[in-house]
Amino acid sequence: METTLRGVGVSHGVAIGEVRHMGTAVLEPPAKQIPADEAEREQGRARQAVEAVAADLIARGNLAGGEAQHVLEAQAMMAQDPELIADVERRIAVGSTAERGVYDAFAAYRALLANAGEYLAGRVADLDDVRNRIVARLLGVPMPGVPDSDEPYVLIARDLAPADTALLDPTLVLGFVTEEGGPTSHSAILARALGVPAVVALPGAGEIAEGTVVAVDGSTGEIFVEPTQEKRAEMESASAARKAALSAVTGPGATSDGHKVPLLANVGGPGDVPAALEAGAEGVGLFRTEFLFLDDSKQAPSEEKQIAAYRAVLEAFPEGRVVVRVLDAGADKPLDFLTPADEPNPALGVRGLRSLLDHPDVLRTQLTSLSRAAEGLPVYLEVMAPMVADRADAKAFADACREAGLQAKFGAMVEIPSAALRARSILQEVEFLSLGTNDLAQYTFAADRQVGAVSRLQDPWQPALLDLVALSADAARAEGKSCGVCGEAASDPLLACVLTGLGVTSLSMGAASIPYVRATLAKHTLAQCERAASAARATDSADEARLAAQAVLSGE
């Protein structure tokens, strides 16, 4: 009998197939004491397992490329953390086996992360995956990972680690469903990059029996368990119609009455460029530069290395707009040479622009590298600072750009409510704003973007978040400047119309979402988008806002 479940849809498309569950490694090794003369051998085993797992993660990243590569490289660094390894060796020295030492050391570090203001809870899932891989190698049991299957299937898991998501084969994995995670978790972001339909934050998903047929709608978040033939036909028909509509709309982003809304791509490095070009991106709205710095947490990359990476992206968009975010370190992206190691709550500490202003040489080198990378290219380079709190922050960044001789527009990301509330003040120092809706929601609602239990508050349809977007867009309009959105909110086609109605001047998203947003915008006039935005803001919940906007845009 058909039943309907609802989670959070995070990647467009429809998947219909049999359920397969994610396999897991043995989580807890036996606790037994070893003789003192075996400690050195066990320490060697632990080090070899750590290095092997780190190498495997890096190899997977190299195969996957793009955003996945950066995530997996960060996971490899987590495995090789010197303090963790030292703790493992201390535990072995007093009698633990290698596998038990690893398990207990990771458990202690896990507790620290879980108590760090909950911001790092998303990294706990990554840490658990690294631990499981090391322990599995030491115990000689299969690695955790996707199931073996010759037939296509829908994957269900408690959560998906980046190492698993990055190498999903879209010809076999029709879609996936997770019990945990949120719309901005790593698994959601990588699902969008892969173009695989996905639903997250669905409690009880693990109870769906192996082999059960399910239909997954990655747009609505609905899961139909044992769907009827009528439901399957309905979803397949809707999916086919959606694909036909996508292919019929090409060219720059615009409403049906010709109001231009440039559609840009979020990229994490040169590896993401081909997909952006194939999707028809009009430029880059968010070039994350962290991937360069995560290669070595001990020191910043050389100017030459930075220039080569930046130029590879800039050259791909001649006459296009490329917006580069300078290094956003701290919180879940700690760097030994840049961020404090003992902050009680890194999410509210020295991160983003704050870290760079404390290390002006790192910021100066990056700005100089960007300037040199853009020399002789017809690209429209724009550079923005993360985590800008007020006008003083914006001025400090703009001054640093000028001192570096950077010939580009300088901008500020709006990720902190204070920046939205005082956007007009900030625009006295910079030339554009870019709304990072992921972090803006996190700080507005005190809701960690990686914790599935608070995903309701991470929903970008929350009216309070729309109010902050409107404040920022109104300030930019008053100053005659631009205000884009580069957070995951822009990837929702319906919400893209609302953002346009709020006065947002460009939308940046994962490449796979661009065709959906382009096609949806092309169906509606600017006036319809404005009415939908007003209707959404007049409600009191995310669900009500979504329904109100949908009613306006569907003509109800």
Active site residues: 186, 486
Q: How many C-beta atoms surround the C-beta of residue 41 within 10 A?
A: 12
DSSP string, 55-115: HHHHHHHHHH-HHHHHHHHHHHHHHT-HHHHHHHHHHHHTT--HHHHHHHHHHHHHHHHHT
Cα-flanking dihedrals φ and ψ of residue 359, to 5°?
-130, 70
Residue partners of 147: CB distance under 8 A and separation at least 6:
20, 21, 22, 23, 153, 155
Q: At 261, is the secondary structure helix, strand, or coil?
A: coil
Residues in the chain: 556
Residues 6+ apart with CB under 8 A from 450: 120, 121, 122, 123, 125, 181, 182, 184, 185, 186, 332
Q: Are strands 432-435 and 321-325 parallel, antiparallel or unpaired?
A: unpaired
- Decide: helix, strand or coil at residue 501: helix
Q: Which residues lie closer than 8 Å to 260 by C-beta, 6 or more apart?
A: 252, 253, 254
Handedness of CA 363, 365, 368, 374 (dihedral sign): negative
Identity of the residue numbered 555 = G
- DSSP codes joined into one string, 110-178: HHHHHTSTTTTHHHHHHHHHHHHHHHHHHHT-PPSBPPP-SS-EEEEES---HHHHHT--TTTEEEEEE
Helix, coil or strand: residue 525: coil
Q: How far is the C-alpha of 14 from the C-alpha of 49, rounded, in Å? A: 39
Instruction: For CA atoms 73, 315, 509, 157, give the dihedral sign.
Output: negative
Q: Which of 547, 388, 531, 545 is nearest to 464 (CA)?
A: 545
Task: Tell me which residue of 214, 217, 240 sits closest to 227, measured CA to CA.
Answer: 214
